[in-house]
Amino acid sequence: MNDLSKISVVLPSLDPDEKLVAVIDGLLEYGFSDIILVNDGSKQENLHYFTDLAAKHPQIHLLHHEVNKGKGAALKNAFRWFLANRPDGFGVVTVDGDNQHHPADTKACCEHMLKTGHVVLGCRDFNQADVPARSSFGNKTTSIIFKIFVGMTISDTQTGLRAIPRKVLEQLVDVYGDRFEYETNMLLAFKTKGIDFEEVKIRTVYIEENKSSHFRVIHDSWRIYKLILAHFFRYTLSSITCFVVDSGMVFLLTKILGSFLVDPLLSGISTIGARVVSSLINFFMNKKLVFQSNVSTGKAMIRYYALAIPQLLVQWLANQGLYTLLGITEQQAGMRTLIHILVMCILFIVSFTIQQRWVFAPQKSNEEV
C-alpha cells in the first residue's frame, strides 16, 4: 500500500510568513492531496496567508482558532476533524510550517507508515556542523533524559514530523497538553499504551538558526522536562511512602506482639510482616501511579518480587563486601552508615530502571495482557 491520498497532512501555524507558502507548494508537488491547515490565533496582519492559500488550493481544509491555544490544541483539533471527516483515511502526518521539513522526507515517513502500520518519527541528525548549538545541546540532552528516566530510545524527541495511523490517532486525541508539551506527552503515551513506533532519518534543516520558532526555551523546556521526570519523582514518592509504612508497621507490630513474643522471634515476625505490607503498597503504587502499566497484576507481581528479594541479598552482600574491602570495623558507625546509604542510592536507581524496563514494561496492544 503506497497511496498518499489516504494520508492527511496536519499543519498547525501561528503568524506565518512566506515559508508557509513554500511548505504547501512542496507538499502538493510531492503528491499530497489533503492538507488540514490550522490557524492557531494568528495576528490580523498574517491571516491573509491562510485565506489566500485556502482560496488557491482546494486540497486545503482550513481550521481557525480565534485566539492562540497552543500547538498541542491545534494538533488535537486537526486530529479530531480528521477522525470525524475522513472515514477512509489511513492516517495523518504532522508537519511544521517553517519549511524545515523537506516534502521528500514527509513522503518517506508516510510510505513507511503505510508499509508497517506503525507510528513513524522523522528524526534529524544533531551531529552535523550546521546545527545551531542550542538546538543540538537541547535535543541531545532531552534524548538522554528520555532514555534514563522514561526508558525510551528516541534520537529526536522534539521532531514535528510524525506519521500517525488512524488506529493510534484515536488513542492520542485525549492525551493531556495544549502547547509544546503535548508532543512530549504523545511520546510518553507510546510507552504507557504499548504503541509501536519507528524512526526514519530525515534532513536536518535550520533556517536562520530557527529564529521563527515559537518555542520559549525556559518556559516550554520546563514544561517538557517536568513531564519526562515525572516517573522518577513519583517513584521516589512511592519509595518514601514504602519506607514510612515499613517503619510504622515494625513499630506497631512490635507493640501489639510484644506481650506474646520475645526476640529474636518478635523482631523477625515484625520485620517480615512490615516488609510484606509495605512492599505490596509499593507494588500497587508503582503499577498504577508511577509506571501506569497495563501488564497483568499477576505477571508484574512475580517480576516485582523476583527483583525485590535478590535486591535485598545484593544490598547485604555489597555492604559486607565494602566493609571488608575498606577495612571498616563495627566501631566505625559513621563510615558504615555512609556506605549503606551509597549502596541504597545505587540500588534505588538500578531498581527504578529494571522496574521501568521489565517489571512494569507495557504490553503491546496485540499481546495478551
Listing DSSP states for 72-106 in one string gives HHHHHHHHHHHHHH-TT--EEEE--TTS-S-HHHH
Helix (H, G, I), strand (E, B) or coil at 129: coil
Give mean pLDDT, residues 133-146: 75
Residue 369 has a pLDDT of 41
Task: Rounding to the nearest 10 degrees, give the CA dihedral for residues 191, 195, 196, 199.
Answer: -60
The full set of domain ranges for the chain reads 4-228, 231-359
Residue 212 has a pLDDT of 45
Does residue 290 have a pLDDT over 90? no
Does residue 368 have a pLDDT over 70? no
pLDDT tier, 150 (very low <50, low <70, confident <90, very high otherwise) = confident
Q: Does domain 4-228 have CATH number 3.40.50.1370?
A: no
Sole residue written with cell 522536562: 225
Helix (H) or strand (E) holding 275: helix 265-285
Does residue 67 have a pLDDT over 90? yes
Residue 231 has a pLDDT of 76
Give mean pLDDT, residues 274-280: 90
Give mean pLDDT, residues 156-171: 93
Distance CA(204)–CA(202), nearest Å, equals 6
φ, ψ at 324 (rounded to 5°): -70, -45
